[in-house]
Structures are given as structure tokens and as C-alpha cells.
Structure 1
Amino acid sequence: MTISREDFLARVVERGEYRGDAEADHAARVVLALLGEHLVGGERAELAESLPETYASLLRDARPTGEALTAERFVEAVVGWIDGATPATAQWDIGAVLSTLADLAPDELIGRVLDQLPDGYDLLFGHPLPA
């Protein structure tokens, strides 16, 4: 069973220490849409299944770019989509959304997703890989 939109947002609000649902919703929409552009194949669809439909469609329906951004460039891209964001606040937003997603998806799936992405995304998902 997929988590409800309200429960997902509540988790993101808590992790991101947002003032309310609107701020968390905006961060989730930006992060998931950008992530969707950098994932391909079954992993993207499987990951989307862990989310409420509102957010699953952003991940699932994004047009793939063909080459994933480095983790640093992913943070920079989020800065460009959130008014007033800095690299530090964007990293906070990304962490709040992706660590929530990582808690909802099976660890094995997160591992396959991380295998598809450049180095550094493990930290964005809150799942640091062994050195």
C-alpha cells in the first residue's frame, strides 16, 4: 500500500523542518521532477510506486535527459528552481525529500537507483555507502 499524500508531506515537513505543507510540497515537486529526469528504466517506475500519485507522476512522467547530473550539479539545479535557495538549503531540501523516499522504498531498490546515479547521491538519499 502506498503512503498517502498527507503522510508523505508530514514526513517531509518533519525532516525538512518546514513551516508547513506548501513549502514541503514545493521542495518535493522540484526534487522528484529533477530526479525523474535522471533515472531510466524500471527503477524509476518502481520508485514511483512508493509515492502518492501526486508525486509518483512527477517522478514517472519526467522526460529523461539521458545523462544524470553529478550530485553537486543536482544540488545546483534545485537551487535554480527554489526561490531564495542556496546550495546548503537546496541540499537540505533534497535530503528531506529523498531520505523520506528512501524510507518508503525497499533498500534493494534504493541500491539499484544509486547504482544508476553518479557518486554522491547516496548522501543525498541519506544512505551513505561504505568507503
Structure 2
Amino acid sequence: MTVRREAFLDRVKERGEYDTLQEAERAARVVLALLGAHLVGEVRARLAACLPEDFALILLNPLQSAEPLSPERFVRATAAWIEGATEQTAAWDVSAALSTVADAAGDNLLKEILLQLPAGYDLLFGRPQPT
């Protein structure tokens, strides 16, 4: 089931403690654009189906990544795309956006998503997995 856009952004805003929905939207857009480059095939399509339409389109038309980024490099790349961001604020942005994505995806799809990502992304999604 698709999450409504307002509900999705409200959750990102709350988790990121942003002052405005625009800040929450900017973080979500950048994070989803980077995440989309790391996911392929049916998993990416199924995740897109859980997201509000404009965010689904961002996920399906991602920023290109030459290689899968480690969680640390993913945060650094996020910082590079958000004006005025630091690695600390970008880590916050990634966490706010990806934990909301994890809620939208549900546990089963999230497990499949994590299989396509380098180790350590479970922490970025706010869902530490037992080792």
C-alpha cells in the first residue's frame, strides 16, 4: 500500500526535526535519488510502489553511481548534494528519510533491500539486523 505524500513527509520532518516540510522533502529527494542507484529490478520496483508517486519516480530515475557506496560514503554523497550540509547533518537526513522508507516498505521487503546493499545499511534504515 502506498503511503500518502503528506504522511510520508510528516514522518521525515518529525524524525529529522526539520522546521519545514520543504527541508524534509529536500532530504527525502536526495536520499531516494542515491538509494535508487543501489537497487535493481523487482526490489526497486516494489519499493517504489510503496512510496508516494513523486518519490517513487525519483527512486526509479536515480542519480547514477559508478559503484555501490558504503554507508559512510552514502552519507558523504548525501552531504555533497544538500547545500550547506555537513556529514553530521547528512547522517541525520539519511536516517530520517531511510527509517521512513523502512516503515513504508515493511520488514520483508526491507530484508530484500538490505541484501542488495553493502553491509551496514541496516543502521542507516534504523533497523539493526542481528549478525
TM-score (norm 2): 0.94
User: Is 1:40 aligned with 2:40?
Assistant: yes
Match of 1:26 in 2: 26
Could you list the per-position Cα deviations for residues 51-72 of structure 1 after superposition, in whole angstroms to 9, with x for gaps in the alignment? 0001000001226546311111
Match of 1:109 in 2: 109
Unaligned runs of 5+ in 1: none
More off after superposition, 61-70 vs 36-45: 61-70
Identity %: 58
TM-score, normalised to structure 1's length? 0.94
The alignment of Structure 1 onto Structure 2 pairs a total of residues equal to 131
Indicate if the aligned counterparts of 1:69 and 1:118 stay in contact, CA closer than 8 A.
yes
* 3-state SS in 2 of match to 1:38: coil
Q: 5+ residue gaps in structure 2? A: none
Equivalent residues in 2 for 1:1-131, closer than 5 Å: 1-62=1-62, 65=65, 67-131=67-131
RMSD: 1.2
SS at match of 2:67: coil
Deviations 1:10-29 (A, max 9, x none): 11101100001000000000
2:32 touches 2:58 (CA, 8 Å); kept in 1?
yes
Q: Deviations over 1:52-101 (max 9, x none)?
A: 00100000122654631111110110010011111111111000000001
Distance in 1 (alpha carbons) for counterparts of 2:49 and 2:91: 24
